[in-house]
Each structure stands twice: as structure tokens, then as C-alpha cells.
Amino acid sequence: MNSFLREAGAAVFLVMLTLCLQCAGMAALISFAKPSLAPDDLRLGPIRSALLMVRLMTAFIVLHIFEILLWAAFYRWFCFPLWESAFYFSTSSYATVGYGDIVLPQMWRTLGPLESIIGVLMCGLSASFLFAIVSRLVDRETKLSRELVSRASLQGSELHSVDKAAVGAHNLAVDPAALGASKE
């Protein structure tokens, strides 16, 4: 019973720290991306949009590595004698690969599958965040493209009506004396 409580306590602690790390990281990324996405009239264009996505994906990869290191530190402290083994096991568990070539001691064995569940959820949160950003960028580009086409067609029709008005005004402003001179 004592080992179960110890494992359950460690599991709750690791899950809570992982969630806090993920939420803090996402909050930081939201405040980083907000200026690029806030004004609806600002067009980023394809290159700046791609650079924003590369920066965000890189930040998420770093965030997930920190989460893996959190679990690896626990494994190093309580389960494995080497950092390499702890990091390798944590990475394969977090990514749900789970080769099985390195296993946790029996007392801690449920932490591996728990880390896999947490890894799937954290990666899902990251993927949904990136999907929301891409959707926002695509919606903005579509909206701005429609507005530009609309403005261009309005300007084209205004130019066409201005040309007609200019021709009409020119015809009305013909000097009658000039007309009489051409008849002679």
C-alpha cells in the first residue's frame, strides 16, 4: 500500500507539473503570437506567415523537450543510474513509442504508460493551437483577398464611370464658334 501511495503521489505531482508547464508555455506563445494576429487589416503574406509558424513549432518542440526532461529528471532520481537512460525512456514514453528495451522498476512501472497518455494530450494541445493559428491566418488572407478584389472592382467601375462623365462633359463643352469655323 505504501508503494502505491508513493507512486500515485509521484504521478499526480508529475502530471500537475507537466500541465503547468504546458499551460505556461501556451500562454507565453499566445502573447507572442497575439501582435501578429490581432489587427484584421494587417496582411502577413506567405513568407511572414511561414516564419511565424516555424517559430511557433520550434517553441512547441522546445516546450515538449522541457516536459520530457521533467519526467527524465524524476526517472534519473528514482529509477535509472544514467541520464541517457532516463532521457531515452522518457522520450520513448512521451512519444508513445515505448520500445520496451528499457523498463522502469516494478515499483514505478505505471508511470511509463501515464507519461504516454500525458504526451499524447500535450501534443494534441500543441497541434490544436497550431491548427487554430493556421486557420486564423488562412481566414485573414481569404478575407483580405476578397476585400482587395472588391476594392479593385469598385475602383474599376468608378474609373469607367469617370471616363464616361469626362467624355460627356467634353462633348458638352465644345465651343459653338469652333463648330461654325469647321463648317466654313
What is the tens place of the pLDDT at every residue in 78-130?
999 999 999 999 999 999 998 889 999 999 999 999 999 999 999 999 999 99
What is the tens place of the pLDDT at every residue in 119-152?
999 999 999 999 999 998 888 888 877 877 887 7
Residue 44 confidence (pLDDT): 77
Q: Quote the CA–CA distance of 23 and 30 in Å, as a whole number.
A: 10
What is the tens place of the pLDDT at every residue in 18-77?
999 999 999 999 999 888 887 655 667 889 889 999 999 999 999 999 999 999 999 999
Is 70 exceeded by the pLDDT of residue 175? no
Q: Are 108 and 78 in contact (CB under 8 A)?
A: yes
Burial per residue of 57-73, b for 16 or more beta-carbon CB atoms within 10 angstroms, e otherwise: eebbeebbeebbbbbbe
Judged by phi (left if over 0) then psi (alpha if -120 to 50, else beta), residue 43 lies in: beta
Residue 88 confidence (pLDDT): 97
Q: Quote the CA–CA distance of 96 and 112 in Å, as a whole number.
A: 9
